Structure 1
Amino acid sequence: MVEKEQLINEFDKELKNILHFWQTRTIDHQYGGFAGQIDAKGKMVAKADKSLVLNTRILWTFSAAYNFLGNRHYLDLAHRAFDYLIHHFLDKKHGGLFWAVDYKGNVINPRKQIYGQGFGIYAFSEYYKASGKHESLDMAIQLFHLIEKHSFDPQYGGYLEALSREWKTLKDMRLSDKDANLPKSMNTHLHLLEPYSNLLGIWPDNNLKNKLTALLRIFLEKILDKQSYHFNLFFSNDWTVQSGIVSFGHDIEGAWLINEAAILTGNKALINEAKKETLKMVNAVIKDGMAPDYSLYYEHDFKKNQWLKERHWWVQAEALVGLLDAFEHSGIADYFDLFLKVWEYIKRYVIDYKHGEWHELINDNGNPLPSELKAGFWKCPYHNTRALLESMKRIRNIDASYPIVANQSK
């Protein structure tokens, strides 16, 4: 029997461990802000470039941690992250946020990746809740307007992947080297749904609500494959599917983010539709992407039957929230039991008890890959801190009569 308070205490302890790592290992005292890269043993990598993704996620993390825990030191670190973004990532001439700077804070990639602008909104919205600084809310609103002005596709709907510093068309729009060079992706749209939701919670603007509703319709009608109940990943301008790979982490993350967004619209029909469709998504992830040890695999190309079975830290984190969300919306205990099993996997294999934080990549045998980072361009604190925050919030609301049992014999 796992008591409710015991589970919350476990999450609280691990959340504070993660935050302590970022407090003590990542501050760049020499050049400002936070280090661009931390190796597997928790050592700062000299002269590493600093990404917009990492820095916005750090701002979101410490803002959200302060909003939940009330520790003033977290707010101080959020101030530090905000100041660095404003001084080094903000394009004061053309608006928007640069994609990357070097270790000294000089711009090395000025492109306007819409995914990154979305994380700017997400972070600035959360920081406004923590600090009350209207400058941060203004920044989030400005980014929303820039995205709508330059990236929105009025013909087919949705948003283009990336633009130049001057918001002009780019030949190479890829988010990363592993991505297809196509004008629209699930990933960018998911990380617009998320910040638009966060912004709507503090800025109840009708146009923003309409845009969030339209994004939900795109997910339910264009991105979600109604046969497999997995997300398609890449698309042409007219939403013709251009990929056959399934990303289980994005599916389980998308399921709960869709529900969160639908609730914020206040549209009862949309809320009910979202609940129905996302439960099918979670079931598909469990059926197709869950390993015998209850972790989630990374990707599967169903057409080629090719697997990427390595376990990514962020996928396991999102599985916690996605499964708990499914339990909340359905009342089906199996989802909660799987949630507990994923947490057991994380405690056994993902948490690095020696060097801190979570292992980035774990192989089929439960061993971390030697190439892993603890912080980097894409290795950031937001997935695992958010999963722990969401889990604590949601478990507190679970009816005390529900038997929270972790049966490890299954």
Structure 2
Amino acid sequence: MAEALPSLMLPESTWLRSAPHRRWLDHQGQRLLDFSKPSRVDAGFAALGDDGRLMTGASADSILTARMTHVYAVAAGRGLPGCAPLAAHGVASLLGPLRDHAHGGWFEGVAPAGQGPEGGRKQAYLHAFVALAASSAVVQGIQGAQDLLKDALAVWERHFWSEDEGVFRESFAADWSDEEDYRGANANMHSVEACMAVADVTGNPAWRRRALRIVERIIHTLARDAGYAVPEHYDRNWTLLKDFNRDKPTDDLRPYGMTPGHFVEWSHLLLKLEAALLRARGSAPLWLLEDAIGLFRRGTDAGWARDGEPGLLYTVGWDLEPVVHNRPHWCQAEAMTSAAALLKRTGHAEYEKWYRKIWDYIDLYMIDRTQGGWLQELDRHNRPSAVVYQGKADLYHAWQATLTPLLPLAPSFATAVSIMDG
């Protein structure tokens, strides 16, 4: 892929300019794409076990399907064989068996006759990924993608977006009743990414403004006041729920306490939003860079090697002391992505050191050269574990980590790939 870094601040010695390093990233990304291809099932994509085979009783998962559709659509834009048909399969699945044809929207699994999985609800987290997947598929001209994007944005805007609050609501029952008394940072974080992608694809700047409003509330107000730690759990009146899921410290989406991996993930999203705003209108709030720097520093201080072993741990308490020491793969991927984004934006040597340190860790501990893919999770001693997550991870975090160093901060993935030389 052609050099896409406009910054003149990057030193010639940076890994980001190194041709061998960029080839290594390309190779690792293609290994991940090939490893994940067996996750295709009739109704979408399903989870893989440690050996890269479908797990016993595996069935289509809507979140996984949306994320795989997004990744394979972007990969198709790079001219990689086999990826466009998989993206098309994902679009067809999201339009078909995974969609609630009675009430609109999506459940986390197959939804026959408008009835989702037992106890299932319609989650903002999932709908953000459906919008992201649809926007990426539109860029590649995947059949049905325009219909999927139109449907996804109508649902997302009508039911989830709260204009008064400037955030997305969390969840509803099948018929859009029974709104959950909860406001979550995680779903809104992924909504920021999806909003930027949708703005690039549709040309509608309202989605970019919504991304900025989310960031203003959750980061520039709430997290900034907390020293750039990111509290995640609130009720609908924005009262912080400090005891939320205290009995579920290893919950995979809403764990007790705070998640340093999210601090650093927000960091690079702020830089991407700054770049998107500058590209679209020539100006962006100055505090986006300041907050991004603060989030990365707080995230690495709170989460990296806190128990004497390398790696970014899962959660900390309100005193920033470790709660769950395990190292999920996605935390490392997002920390690396944030270091790369800060390096591109500032040229500071500190971020080059972090970029190399995190990739060294991923290479030596996370990449599974025996069975393929990345290990989903390691324990505090960096041994394979399955306390929070089981099996092998889907492509979303790991594959994007291999691609983001090759791309500019804006536009978003699919659009950036579409306008660059292969």
Could you tell me how far 1:154 is from its partner in structure 2?
4.4
State the Cα RMSD in Å: 2.6
Could you tell me how far 1:156 is from its partner in structure 2?
3.6
Matches within 5 A, 1:119-130: 119-130=129-140
- The residue type paired with residue 362 of structure 1 is L
Matches within 5 A, 1:236-275: 236-243=235-242, 245-265=257-277, 266=280, 270-275=284-289
Question: Compared with structure 1, are the counterparts of its residues 305 and 316 closer, same or farther at alpha carbon in structure 2 (3 Å cutoff)?
Answer: closer
Question: Compared with structure 1, are the counterparts of its residues 374 and 270 closer, same or farther at alpha carbon in structure 2 (3 Å cutoff)?
Answer: same
Q: Could you say which residue in structure 1 is the equivalent of 2:90? A: 81
Q: Could you say which residue in structure 1 is the equivalent of 2:405? A: 391
Q: Could you say which residue in structure 2 is the equivalent of 1:58? A: 68
- The residue type paired with residue 400 of structure 2 is R
CA contact under 8 A between 1:158 and 1:215: conserved in structure 2?
Answer: yes
Could you tell me how far 1:43 is from its partner in structure 2?
2.7
Q: SS in structure 2 opposite 1:201? A: helix
Could you tell me how far 1:213 is from its partner in structure 2?
2.9
Q: Could you say which residue in structure 1 is the equivalent of 2:233? A: 234
Query: Structure 2 CA distance, aligned partners of 1:199 and 1:70?
Result: 22
Query: Structure 2 CA distance, aligned partners of 1:159 and 1:370?
Result: 31
Question: Compared with structure 1, are the counterparts of its residues 208 and 249 closer, same or farther at alpha carbon in structure 2 (3 Å cutoff)?
Answer: same
Query: Structure 2 CA distance, aligned partners of 1:153 and 1:33?
Result: 30
Query: Structure 2 CA distance, aligned partners of 1:360 and 1:22?
Result: 13
Query: Structure 1 CA distance, aligned partners of 2:18 and 2:320?
Result: 43
Q: Which range moved further: 36-45 or 147-156?
A: 147-156
The correspondence for 1:286, drawn from 295, 300, 303, is 300
Question: Compared with structure 1, are the counterparts of its residues 297 and 46 closer, same or farther at alpha carbon in structure 2 (3 Å cutoff)?
Answer: closer
Question: Compared with structure 1, are the counterparts of its residues 217 and 268 closer, same or farther at alpha carbon in structure 2 (3 Å cutoff)?
Answer: farther
Query: Structure 1 CA distance, aligned partners of 2:271 and 2:27?
Result: 28
Gaps of 5+ in 1: 174-181, 396-410
- The residue type paired with residue 319 of structure 1 is A
CA contact under 8 A between 2:47 and 2:394: conserved in structure 1?
Answer: no
CA contact under 8 A between 1:223 and 1:233: conserved in structure 2?
Answer: no
Could you tell me how far 1:138 is from its partner in structure 2?
3.9
Query: Structure 1 CA distance, aligned partners of 2:206 and 2:44?
Result: 34
Could you tell me how far 1:235 is from its partner in structure 2?
1.1
The correspondence for 2:149, drawn from 140, 144, 168, is 140
Could you tell me how far 1:107 is from its partner in structure 2?
4.4
Query: Structure 1 CA distance, aligned partners of 2:273 and 2:93?
Result: 29
Could you state the TM-score of these two structures normalised by the residue count of structure 2? 0.82
The correspondence for 2:372, drawn from 334, 352, 356, is 356
Matches within 5 A, 1:7-406: 7-23=21-37, 25-28=38-41, 31-34=42-45, 36-67=46-77, 69-101=78-110, 107-108=116-117, 111-131=121-141, 133=143, 135-170=144-179, 173=180, 182-243=181-242, 245-265=257-277, 266=280, 270-291=284-305, 293-303=309-319, 305-369=321-385, 373-375=390-392, 379-393=393-407
Question: Compared with structure 1, are the counterparts of its residues 14 and 209 closer, same or farther at alpha carbon in structure 2 (3 Å cutoff)?
Answer: closer
CA contact under 8 A between 2:367 and 2:375: conserved in structure 1?
Answer: yes
Could you tell me how far 1:219 is from its partner in structure 2?
2.8
Question: Compared with structure 1, are the counterparts of its residues 278 and 46 closer, same or farther at alpha carbon in structure 2 (3 Å cutoff)?
Answer: same
CA contact under 8 A between 1:48 and 1:102: conserved in structure 2?
Answer: no
CA deviation string 1:203-250 (max 9, x = no partner): 121433332332232233444243421211111223222238221111
1:4 aligns with 2:18: yes
Question: Compared with structure 1, are the counterparts of its residues 281 and 339 closer, same or farther at alpha carbon in structure 2 (3 Å cutoff)?
Answer: same
Question: Compared with structure 1, are the counterparts of its residues 294 and 366 closer, same or farther at alpha carbon in structure 2 (3 Å cutoff)?
Answer: closer
Query: Structure 2 CA distance, aligned partners of 1:209 and 1:202?
Result: 11
- The residue type paired with residue 57 of structure 1 is R
Question: Compared with structure 1, are the counterparts of its residues 97 and 41 closer, same or farther at alpha carbon in structure 2 (3 Å cutoff)?
Answer: same
CA contact under 8 A between 1:200 and 1:208: conserved in structure 2?
Answer: yes
Query: Structure 2 CA distance, aligned partners of 1:282 and 1:294?
Result: 16
CA deviation string 1:294-321 (max 9, x = no partner): 4211111034844211110011111111
Question: Compared with structure 1, are the counterparts of its residues 141 and 216 closer, same or farther at alpha carbon in structure 2 (3 Å cutoff)?
Answer: farther
State the percentage of identical aligned residues. 19
Could you tell me how far 1:271 is from its partner in structure 2?
4.2
Query: Structure 1 CA distance, aligned partners of 2:95 and 2:311?
Result: 38
Aligned residues between the structures: 375
Q: SS in structure 1 opposite 2:202? A: coil
Query: Structure 1 CA distance, aligned partners of 2:320 and 2:361?
Result: 29
Q: SS in structure 2 opposite 1:307? A: strand
- The residue type paired with residue 53 of structure 2 is K
Q: SS in structure 2 opposite 1:45? A: coil
- The residue type paired with residue 358 of structure 2 is V
Query: Structure 2 CA distance, aligned partners of 1:370 and 1:212?
Result: 33
CA contact under 8 A between 2:122 and 2:174: conserved in structure 1?
Answer: yes
CA contact under 8 A between 2:91 and 2:148: conserved in structure 1?
Answer: no
